[in-house]
Chains A and B, each alone.
Chain A
Amino acid sequence: MAAPSSSSSSSPVLSLWKAYHQNTSDRLKFIDSFLIFLMISGIIQFVYCVLVTNFPFNAFLAGFSSTVGQFVLTASLRSQVNPENKGVFKDVSPERAFSDFVLGSIVLHFFVFNFLG
């Protein structure tokens, strides 16, 4: 994603960063930092799998899908609590969104735990 945009024009990326800094509430930034952590964790696992071994394939899959799953669930939470999206999520209040998030994560990690073997 970043490669084509940064090579041809670096200023839009800078202004994007600036706009992000200004317009985002602290709560969302907190979620974003968690997202970035998950992303790095996922990349490390993937690189490990490619470079070293994928031997217990189910363990790799469990770990990797737990990061990916947690990532998308958190990203969902982020878009649901984002005040800009209020019109999109009429039926989902931020509290409801959080409880959905917790439930989804529990189910996800139940399967992850089962899959670790």
Chain B
Amino acid sequence: MSTAYPLPTNLSKTTVANTASLLRIVALGLISAAAIASRLFAVINFESIIHEFDPWFNYRATRVLAAKGFYEFWNWFDPTAWYPLGRVVGGTVYPGLMATSGVIYNFLHAFNLPVDIRNICVLLAPGFSALTAWATYMFTKEMKDESAGLLAAAFIGIVPGYISRSVAGSYDNEAIAIFLLMFTFYCWIKALKTGSALFGTLAAVFYFYMVAAWGGYAFITNMIPVHALALMLMGRFSSRLYVAYCSWYAIGTLSSMQVPFVGFQPVRTSEHMGALGVFGLLQIVAFAQLARSHLSSKQFQNLLTVAVIVMGVVGTFGFIALTYMGWIAPWTGRFYSLWDTGYAKKYIPIIASVSEHQPTAWPSFFMDLQFLIFLFPAGVVLCFRELRDEHVFVIIYAVVASYFAGVMVRLMLTLTPVVCVASAVAFSSLMDTYLDPTQPEAEGESRPAEVDASAASNGSTASTASKKEKEKAKKPAAGGALSDIVAATSSSKKSKGVWGLDTRLVVIAHSLLMLGFFVFHCTWVTSSAYSSPSVVLASTNADGSQHIIDDFREAYYWLRQNTAEDAVVMSWWDYGYQIAGMADRPTLVDNNTWNNTHIATVGKAMSSSEEVAYPILRKHDVDYVLVIFGGLLGYSGDDINKFLWMVRIAQGVWPDEIQEPNYFTPQGEYRVDDRASSAMRNSLMYKMSYYRFAELFGGGQAVDRVRQQTMPKTGPTLDYLDEAFTSENWIVRIYQVRKEDDLGRDLKSANAFAQGKKRKRTKPVSKRRAITV
């Protein structure tokens, strides 16, 4: 047998095996280090701070848990959220994330390591990303071999699609959920392959953890049954499938009902019925198989087939009947909107308004997955080549997840693991072929030894590993999986292999180039796009140095220091968690968007005129109103840009009073300058945003830098609110709501009186009406 490059001959088999496993461990360690390190940009560039919106609530809840213990947390009623309704936090939250941090916190403190709970929360996501890399390694190992596993681990360690939700400080459910997702899938595949109830039980336990951690658990609830059903339809039913599925379902379903937020849903809602149906079907099929093994009468077998089909049809109709009778709740709106994509916009604008629920355009896919995105179809095809039971899983996962990721940007997160797995399979097949030193002979079969392709994976993660990888590339590892593949392909008759060294070098060169490019891409995307806390903004000065814009915290701390402890702050729901977390003040609405009417009330107050809004504010005891205004700085995520959603949501509840077209100019433009519609100009949001804005320019032209429109010289006036605070760059503006006039006058006329004006600009009749409503 000729080889393309010389191999050392004096190595014993055990040495090779030992070295290979040592290198695998080292490689996994380096991958974990790279995964953690690449998520620390945010901490280095800014500071150890909780990011964005939802994490602030999780952080606040975790602090309660760490300070008061689990039982207190479980029974925690938060009167400051959703004022005046309050929120039962213990029953409306997925507690997995907080419980995890709480356990880590108590564990460290038991060892007298006084780590601040905030640092645990900030660093939880990077830590779990290392575990995700390991889980992906295990999962991919079941698909192909260890080298593919290492590649997949390296990919998922640094791929932006996953980093986007797991940078340090992004303390959200997804931080631990992806690890749980991958590990549950791994246990399921392992259970299916071995037919062991142990792994089925493990899958169920991790499924329970997943249910406790993330609402996306429904993905597992449906993926596993679909896989089982597909296997049965392919005629691949086996007792292994029965053992794996039944042990997972029986324990997993019962355990998922322990989470208060989930409750009885697993037996009451349509999302979970597929799993139950497959469970029932499996019992029937298993019984039929058992009967068949005892009896081989043709007639009886036909009967069995008919019986199975009849049972299936009866089950389906029974399900439909139960749904109509109201025993089983139909698809919930959030879930339904995945299938009928127009549904959310029509009926639940609050879901459609969230930016991460928008559909995904192709640049996002490429940004998040780079070259993996086109290796991924190749990997799927390679799965078809072998098509073992576990490959069917990857194939189904690939199709389903790519659809979901197309519908919602947020679900890119579920697509990322399968893309990493499939492209690792493809890439390691390529490496297997072209690193393999044996050359085919003119005739006769050759039995090529496999070369550990994980060298490439090292190259993609850490440059520090480069020394080792060079040594490693030369050392062939033991392994015989390739011969199986050769046997499985149709063209196994022909000898397989590559001639010459140059061909190998060409392919390896461009593969390494791609991996290197991937590393640069990931680093750039992570550092530039995904590492902003969005609580603290950064801009670049003219000399290239970084300028920190800290308006949010400035304003929240102002609230904390200067207002009464029970002062109610109204803002659009995006900022509810942050106000609660940083300013510690009651809020009307927050990011847990469970009460549409309450949010619409805020929307109505923001989009109506002062006279209409004032009674609403007074009725809800609002003391301060907070708006985000980016017009001075050019911060585009401000409230005026979100304003149409407020209008839309308010319109959903009060279609007679708030109408979206009124906020556009007759030409259908969305304008804020002197051509703005009167409804727009009179709305509370507009007035609060632009109050005294023109004065800032001292008679010059006032320009809104976000909308690029010139503002009128005389800005809006406020009669029912007083400006209380405006942050350095005007991003956060806080207004105090005036109390009713002492003399019982309408505030507007009182104001006019105080300014010494006569009531000439306004018609008194309508004014009086507003106050008496």
Verify whether A and B have any Cβ pair under 8 Å.
Answer: yes
Residues of A within 8 A of B283 (CB): 72
Q: Does B336 contact A (CB under 8 A)?
A: no
Residues of A within 8 A of B194 (CB): 89-92
Within 8 A of A (CB), among B549-585: none
Q: Complex Cα distance A73/B287, Å?
A: 15
Contact of A12 among B242, B254, B287, B295 (CB under 8 A): B295
Residues of B within 8 A of A73 (CB): 197, 246-247, 250
Residue of B with least CB distance to A101 = B197
Q: Check A79/B242 contact, CB under 8 A, given A12-B300, A65-B254, A103-B198.
A: yes
Contact of A15 among B201, B204, B295 (CB under 8 A): B295
Q: Does A8 contact B (CB under 8 A)?
A: yes
Where chain A touches its partner, the secondary structure class is helix
Contact of B196 among A4, A16, A92, A107 (CB under 8 A): A92
CB proximity of A7 to chain B, nearest CB, Å: 10
Contact of B310 among A4, A16, A76, A79 (CB under 8 A): A4
Q: Complex Cα distance A89/B195, Å?
A: 6
Once the chains bind, are B242 and A112 in contact (CB under 8 Å)? no
Q: Complex Cα distance A12/B255, Å?
A: 41
Within 8 A of B (CB), among A16-66: 16, 19-20, 23, 57-58, 61-62, 65-66
Once the chains bind, are A15 and B198 in contact (CB under 8 Å)? no
Once the chains bind, are A104 and B247 in contact (CB under 8 Å)? yes
Q: Complex Cα distance A107/B205, Å?
A: 8
* Number of chain B residues whose Cβ lies closer than 8 Å to a Cβ of chain A: 43
Once the chains bind, are A97 and B197 in contact (CB under 8 Å)? yes
Once the chains bind, are A111 and B254 in contact (CB under 8 Å)? yes
Residues of A within 8 A of B400 (CB): none
Interface residues as binary, B229-252 with A (CB distance below 8 Å gives 1, 0 otherwise): 000000000111011001101110
Contact of A76 among B242, B267, B300, B303 (CB under 8 A): B242
Q: Complex Cα distance A4/B307, Å?
A: 7
CB proximity of A75 to chain B, nearest CB, Å: 7
Q: Complex Cα distance A30/B196, Å?
A: 21
Q: Check A61/B257 contact, CB under 8 A, given A72-B246, A72-B247, A104-B247.
A: yes
Interface residues as binary, B299-310 with A (CB distance below 8 Å gives 1, 0 otherwise): 110011011001
Once the chains bind, are B205 and A77 in contact (CB under 8 Å)? no
Once the chains bind, are B258 and A89 in contact (CB under 8 Å)? no
Q: Does A84 contact B (CB under 8 A)?
A: yes
Residue of A with least CB distance to B286 = A75
Where chain B touches its partner, the secondary structure class is helix
Residues of B within 8 A of A4 (CB): 303, 306-307, 310
Residues of B within 8 A of A61 (CB): 254, 257, 264, 267
Residues of A within 8 A of B251 (CB): 69, 104, 107-108, 111
Q: Does B297 contact A (CB under 8 A)?
A: yes
Q: Complex Cα distance A101/B293, Å?
A: 24
Residues of A within 8 A of B752 (CB): none
Q: Check A112/B254 contact, CB under 8 A, given A1-B307, A12-B303, A100-B198.
A: yes
CB proximity of B127 to chain A, nearest CB, Å: 26
Q: Does B609 contact A (CB under 8 A)?
A: no
Q: Does B253 contact A (CB under 8 A)?
A: yes
User: 13 interchain pairs (CB within 8 A)?
Assistant: A4-B303, A58-B257, A58-B264, A66-B254, A76-B247, A79-B239, A80-B197, A100-B197, A103-B198, A107-B204, A111-B251, A114-B258, A115-B254
Residues of A participating in the B interface, judged by any CB pair closer than 8 Å: 1, 4-5, 8-9, 12, 15-16, 19-20, 23, 57-58, 61-62, 65-66, 68-69, 72-73, 75-77, 79-80, 82, 84-85, 88-92, 96-97, 99-101, 103-104, 107-108, 111-112, 114-115
Residues of B participating in the A interface, judged by any CB pair closer than 8 Å: 194-198, 200-201, 204-205, 238-240, 242-243, 246-247, 249-251, 253-255, 257-258, 264, 267, 283-284, 286-287, 291, 293-295, 297, 299-300, 303-304, 306-307, 310-311
> Given contacts A15-B295, A88-B195, A91-B195, could you give 5 more A-B pairs where the C-beta distance is less than 8 Å?
A9-B303, A23-B294, A69-B254, A76-B246, A115-B254
